[in-house]
């Protein structure tokens, strides 16, 4: 079983080990937020070609990584592929290391390996395309730290792991960055969000801290204060009175209450007739309750009628302020009539 990339096999990697390594090839960057002992080994000197012994050891480490990957031991596979890359840098070993880290759940390490493949692999390398696709998926789950102005900065570590990379993928959350400049140890805690990039600068002018690059805040322009004149206060013309809707709503409520009163009165009379035919204590008590309910509804209906009529006659201007209506000849009346078998309520206004 192949550990990861298409077309990457032990024979191909072994042949690559015996070719001269590219002059720009370097080892994988140390990985922030990696488990203890899982970061890549130190880089060889830039431009130094691997010795025959290193090539042989790299080929063996690659083969060991394939076997571990096939057995499902992905962290061991990653360690072997990283060792193969350290001994004889080649994008095949680095891509396999990234794939193994991803299968093991070490997502920041995997993303950092894929990013290094994109830096080092030739333009037409199949590993470059695969690494780009894999990194695109992982980048939404991780945050990225971009490090700037690192000249003169030594012993730079992210969460205790050394790094020399300019860009490092980490899990979302808070991370502690320590470094040394001019023999003085510094520390900074930064928060990184998923799918976002946080830029840190270690400028000479501010050696005491790393400053986070954020969009500039535009201060308000300084100048004479312009005070807008207060808008005219809205006054209420007391002569306008209540809106007509008040009368309409009151009339509707009066009609509803009237209907309930009539229904209750009919029910009360029916209870009275039942008591007359067959008097019992239970019917007597029930009749009293219904009579009380009817009396309450009569009072509510009368109150609504009076309130609505008074509002219509006194407080509502039906002529829209053009003329005051003469109410002298207008009268209002309410009659409530009851007999042994009926209840009658009428009113005029």
DSSP 167-204: EEEE-SEEEEEEEEETTEEEEEEEEE-TT-EEEEE--T
In a 3-state reduction of DSSP, which class is residue 123? coil
pLDDT of residue 223: 43
What helix, strand, coil percent values describe the chain, rounded to 5? Answer: 45, 15, 40
pLDDT of residue 6: 37
pLDDT of residue 247: 77
pLDDT of residue 217: 47
CB 162 within 8 A of CB 128: no
- Stretches in the chain below the pLDDT threshold 70: 1-47, 203-241, 317-349
- Rounded Cα distance, 172 and 24, in Å: 32
pLDDT of residue 347: 55
pLDDT of residue 36: 32
């Amino acid at each position: 079983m192949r550990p990861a990339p298409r077309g990457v096999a032990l024979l191909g990697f072994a042949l690559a080990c015996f070719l001269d390594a590219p002059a720009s090839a370097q080892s994988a960057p140390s990985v922030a937020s990696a488990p203890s002992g899982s970061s890549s080994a130190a880089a060889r000197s830039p431009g130094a070609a691997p010795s025959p012994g290193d090539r042989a050891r790299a080929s063996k480490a690659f083969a060991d990584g394939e076997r571990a990957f096939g057995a499902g031991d992905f962290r061991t596979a990653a360690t072997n592929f990283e060792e193969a890359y350290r001994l004889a840098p080649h994008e095949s070993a680095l891509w396999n290391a990234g794939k193994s880290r991803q299968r093991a759940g070490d997502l920041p390490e995997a993303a950092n390996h894929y990013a290094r493949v994109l830096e080092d692999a030739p333009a037409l390398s199949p590993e470059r395309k695969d690494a780009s696709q894999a990194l695109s998926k992982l980048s939404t789950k991780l945050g990225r730290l971009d490090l700037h102005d690192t000249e003169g900065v030594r012993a730079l570590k992210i969460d205790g792991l050394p790094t020399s990379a300019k860009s490092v993928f980490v899990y979302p959350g808070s991370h502690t960055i320590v470094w040394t400049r001019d023999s003085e140890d510094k520390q900074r805690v930064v928060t990184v969000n998923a799918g976002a990039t946080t830029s840190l600068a270690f400028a000479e002018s501010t050696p005491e801290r790393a400053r986070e690059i954020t969009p500039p805040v535009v201060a308000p322009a300084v100048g004479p204060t312009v005070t807008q004149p207060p808008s005219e206060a809205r006054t209420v013309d007391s002569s306008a009175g209540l809106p007509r809707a008040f009368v309409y709503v009151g009339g509707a409520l009066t009609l509803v209450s009237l209907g309930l009163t009539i229904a209750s009165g009919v029910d009360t009379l029916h209870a009275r007739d039942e008591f007359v035919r067959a008097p019992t204590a239970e019917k007597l008590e029930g009749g009293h309750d219904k009579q009380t309910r009817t009396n309450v509804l009569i009072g509510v209906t009368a109150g609504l009628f009076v309130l609505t009529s008074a509002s219509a006659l006194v407080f509502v201007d039906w002529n829209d302020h053009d003329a005051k209506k003469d109410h002298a000849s207008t009268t209002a009346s309410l009659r409530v009539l009851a007999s042994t078998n009926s209840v009658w309520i009428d009113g005029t206004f």
